[in-house]
Amino acid sequence: MNKLTHCSLAVLFLTVSNASMAEMSIDHSKMTQHDHEMMMKHLGMSKEESAPVVDDQRELVLFPEAEYHLTLRNMRDHLRGVNLALMNVASGDYVQAAEAIEQHLGFGNSHGANGLHSAREFMPPGMQMLGHGMHTKANALAITLRDAEITEDSQEIFSKMADLTSQCVACHDAYRLGAE
Ligand code: HEC
């Protein structure tokens, strides 16, 4: 082997090892939309979930700082109410499930720093309607749950529960919050 061959072998080796190094680390910025979708599919995420954040078309609604934090806390409490209700339904405690819904999602559930629904005034009309709709569906669910004590009609419970969570989904699809 002459000197030149040695040299080119070394270059070849370096090139190959560099190439395989590059293959090992994924550069997300160079990924195409198709690559991204394939990766998310592989990770078990739906196309909607994997849509890049820049595609966010939801309307931004600005709340004053205190209202913003209180509203998000209230949201987490809504989810807690749904969760509590489902747990109680699972163990056949329909009245307790109804109480969880009334307490965490009913009309008495206050929004805003002063507990007087003050956050409402910062909501666009469409958002107000969805919020009102959510409380209405929550009340209907609570009535069905109390009836279930006698009827044991779980199909009706699921139907009313789905009506309620549809309101959550509709609003989450349309709006996002920011603090000003
Ligand atoms: C009237 C509109 C509306 C309704 C109805 C609604 N939400 Fe929300 N919720 C929002 C908005 C807006 C956000 C903030 C989303 C964002 O900025 O990305 C939010 C955020 C949340 C969060 C995240 C809280 C956090 O700490 O970040 C949870 C959990 C949540 N909502 C649960 C629920 C559940 C459960 C329901 C139904 C029972 C529900 N929401 C109904 C508007 C709504």
pLDDT in tens, 101-116: 999 998 766 554 445 4
Give the ligand 1 atom nearest the CA of 164: 38
Per-residue pLDDT at 167: 97
The Cα–Cα gap between 119 and 171 comes to 15
C-alpha of 162 from chain center: 16
Nearest protein CA to atom 15 of ligand 1, as residue? 176
Report d(CA 78, CA 169) in Å as an integer: 13
| CA of 178, closest atom in ligand 1 | 17
Please report which confidence band the pLDDT of residue 55 belongs to, taking 50, 70 and 90 as the band edges: confident
Compute the distance from residue 156 Cα to the ligand 1 centre, in Å: 25
Banded pLDDT at 92 (limits 50, 70, 90): very high
Atom 12 of ligand 1: nearest residue by CA position: 176
For residue 48, what pLDDT is reported?
Answer: 59
What topology is assigned to 58-179 in CATH? Four Helix Bundle (Hemerythrin (Met), subunit A) (1.20.120)
| Residues 103-157: tens digit of each pLDDT | 999 876 655 444 545 678 899 999 999 999 999 999 999 999 999 999 989 999 9
What integer pLDDT is reported at residue 106 of this predicted model?
81
Total length of the chain:
180
User: What pLDDT score does 38 carry?
Assistant: 56
Which pLDDT belongs to residue 120?
82
- Tell me the pairing of strands 175-179 and 59-63: parallel
Nearest Cα residue to atom 24 of ligand 1: 72
Q: Whose CA is nearest to atom 8 of ligand 1?
A: 75
Separation between Cα atoms, residue 67 and residue 114, nearest integer Å: 9
Question: Mean pLDDT across the stretch 39-51?
Answer: 58
What is the per-residue DSSP string for 37-75?
Answer: HHHHHHTT--HHHHS-GGG--PEEEEE-HHHHHHHHHHH
pLDDT band at 23 (very low <50, low <70, confident <90, very high): very low
More confident residue, 63 or 1: 63
Q: Are 87 and 103 in contact (CB under 8 A)?
A: no
Using the Cα atoms of residue 13, residue 14, residue 19 and residue 22 in order, give the sign of their dihedral.
positive
Mean pLDDT (the chain, rounded): 79
| Res 15: pLDDT | 44
The separation between CA 75 and the C-alpha centre of its own chain, rounded to angstroms, equals 11
Q: Taking the domains of the chain in order of start, what are their residue ranges?
A: 3-54, 58-179
Atom of ligand 1 nearest to the CA of 134: 5
95-103: Cβ within 8 A, 24+ apart: 95/145, 95/146, 95/149, 97/145, 98/141, 98/142, 98/143, 98/145, 98/146, 101/138, 101/141, 101/142, 101/145, 101/164, 102/138, 102/139, 102/142
pLDDT of residue 1: 46
